[in-house]
Amino acid sequence: MQKDFSYGIIPIFKNQAGEFEFLLIHQKSYGWAFWGFPKGHAEKKETWIQAAQRELTEEVDIREISIKKAPQRSFSYQFTQQGIGYDKTVTYWIGFVKDKTTTIQEEELEDCAWFGFTDAKEKISHQSMRAVFDEIGKYLGITKE
């Protein structure tokens, strides 16, 4: 089984009512699409955070973001692609944006949209990502459990 690592940012916007909105991307991937957060692999000499920022810019054209280095959240899963088994770990940081303007990378994404916490949680395709999102909700004071 090969190890694989991706790094991403959970983009957050605080609206005028003081409510948090979260940017989800609708990812194209190997014949099936899913909703989640921007992420990708580090390139040579990139730090994890630099990789996450670059992926955010490439996928949705967000350039100005205030990234919180803590808390960071990770989850792992296994999958097989073209007969090769992978053990993948994805690490996310949260980042606050002042502008919700986005432009999607059409080669990789079907769409992107901003959602409130409850709607975002329902839209997220993978259970392990929902668990990370719950932890972010606790950190932001949105949820108690």
What domains appear along the chain, each with residue ranges and CATH number? Answer: 2-140 (3.90.79.10)
Region 127-131: mean pLDDT is 87
Phi-psi sector, 110: left (phi>0), alpha (psi -120 to 50), beta: alpha
pLDDT in the model for residue 111: 84
- Cα separation of 59 and 105, whole Å? 5
pLDDT in the model for residue 145: 60
pLDDT tens digits, residue range 132-142? 899 999 999 99
pLDDT in the model for residue 144: 66
Region 39-65: mean pLDDT is 92
What would the two tokens of residue 98 be?
A: 């002042």
Mean pLDDT (the chain, rounded): 89
pLDDT in the model for residue 81: 80
Percentage of the chain surpassing pLDDT 70?
A: 95
- Cα separation of 26 and 20, whole Å? 20
How far apart, in Å, are the Cα atoms of 27 and each of 70, 120, 138? 26, 15, 26
DSSP string, 63-122: ---EEEEEEEEEEEEEEEETTEEEEEEEEEEEEEES-------TTTEEEEEEE-HHHHHH
Q: What is the dihedral of CA 26, 33, 82, 2, to 10 degrees?
A: 40
Q: Is residue 32's pLDDT more than 70? A: no
pLDDT tens digits, residue range 80-123? 888 889 898 999 999 999 999 998 888 888 789 999 999 999 99
Region 51-61: mean pLDDT is 93
- Cα separation of 27 and 34, whole Å? 5
pLDDT in the model for residue 58: 94
pLDDT in the model for residue 115: 96
